């Protein structure tokens, strides 16, 4: 059900949110699942399972309030270093989510896009990603970008390599390169850059996430671990964003 928040504000401890001027694109680093579980004496895999449910809740809410794009850091190129049982759990949760998405995307009019190197995923996961992409091509609603086996530096290197290949093939010339042209070679081609980057879990770094795209994003950090991240915490992040003075290198008139 589509909710109407036009010209309304959320109040209370979560801060004042003007739903008539929300950021168009929000990016979130899903951090703190393992620590959430360890603090409760549970295996790290339990935190990922709860974190997956939090993702569903927040993604659905972003759609309902009118966020056009949501990009989440689900699994980085560095996360392969984690214990095998933890990696297997994350991949199992991804499979479950993709199967559910295939059944509900058209009903909910939610598009999915996957950013990262998909070549290392299992054949089963790659087939599910392809099915989601095919369904998304027919839809027009909120787009959720899921970064899997993703690294910001790797993305830039991949884009530079593809541009070099096109130069060698005579499709473009080195002197043709501009920021706008280079963006067309990124995984995020055609997607506006995030205005707001949220990092739960207490850490204050990008961790190789959307290095190019977040050049002018507003950062919001919180000590709340991702499994405990709520709609109210999202309100706090958006309210903080709406109070920022975004000058993009200029001065306010």
pLDDT tens across 147-177, in order?
A: 999 999 999 999 999 999 999 999 999 999 9
Whole-prediction pTM: 0.89
Helix and strand numbers, DSSP H then E, in the chain: 7, 8
- In contact, 86 and 44? CB cutoff 8 Å: yes
Pull the structure tokens for residue 65.
Answer: 């309030």
So where are the chain's domains?
23-151+193-242
Residue 92, number of CB atoms within 10 A of its CB:
15
Of 18, 79, 108, 228, which is the active-site residue?
79
Q: What are residue 150's DSSP bridge partners?
A: 76
Known catalytic residue at 109: no
**Please, what's the b/e burial string for 4-29 (b: 16 or more CB within 10 A of its CB; e: otherwise)?**
eeeeeebeeebbebebeebbebbbbb
Please report the pLDDT score of residue 4 as a whole number. 36
Of 31, 33, 145, 149, which is the active-site residue?
31
Known catalytic residue at 31: yes
The fraction of the chain above a pLDDT of 70, given in percent, is: 92
Pull the structure tokens for residue 179.
Answer: 């920021």
**4-12 long-range CB contacts below 8 Å, 24 or more apart?**
5/65, 5/66, 10/235, 10/239
pLDDT tens across 198-253, in order?
A: 999 999 999 999 999 999 999 999 999 999 999 999 999 999 999 998 776 666 66
DSSP track, 176-198: G--HHHHHTTSTTTTSPPPSEEE
Q: CATH number of the domain at 23-151+193-242, please? A: 3.40.1180.10
Across all residues in the chain, what is the average pLDDT? 91
16 phi, psi to nearest 5 deg: -95, 120
């Amino acid at each position: 059900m589509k909710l109407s928040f036009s010209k309304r504000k959320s109040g209370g401890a979560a801060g004042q949110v003007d739903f008539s001027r929300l950021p168009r694109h929000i990016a979130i680093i899903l951090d703190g699942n393992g620590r959430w579980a360890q603090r409760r004496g549970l295996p790290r895999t339990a935190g990922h399972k709860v974190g997956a449910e939090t993702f569903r809740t927040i993604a659905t809410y972003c759609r309902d309030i009118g966020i056009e794009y949501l990009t989440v850091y689900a699994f980085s190129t560095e996360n392969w270093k984690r214990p095998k049982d933890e990696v297997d759990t994350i991949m199992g949760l991804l499979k479950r989510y993709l199967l559910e998405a295939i059944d509900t995307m058209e009903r909910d009019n939610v598009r999915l896009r996957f950013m990262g190197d998909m070549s290392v995923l299992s054949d089963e996961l790659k087939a599910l990603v392809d099915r989601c992409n095919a369904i998304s091509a027919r839809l027009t609603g909120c787009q959720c970008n899921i970064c899997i086996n993703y690294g910001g530096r790797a993305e830039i290197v991949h884009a530079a390599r593809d541009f070099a290949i096109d130069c060698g093939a005579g499709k473009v010339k080195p002197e043709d390169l501009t920021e706008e042209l280079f963006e067309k070679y990124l995984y995020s081609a055609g997607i506006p850059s995030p205005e707001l980057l949220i990092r739960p879990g207490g850490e204050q770094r990008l961790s190789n996430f959307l290095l190019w795209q977040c050049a002018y994003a507003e950062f919001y950090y919180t000590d709340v671990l991702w499994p405990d991240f709520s709609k109210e915490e999202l309100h706090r992040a958006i309210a903080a964003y709406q109070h920022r003075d975004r000058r993009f290198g200029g001065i306010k008139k």
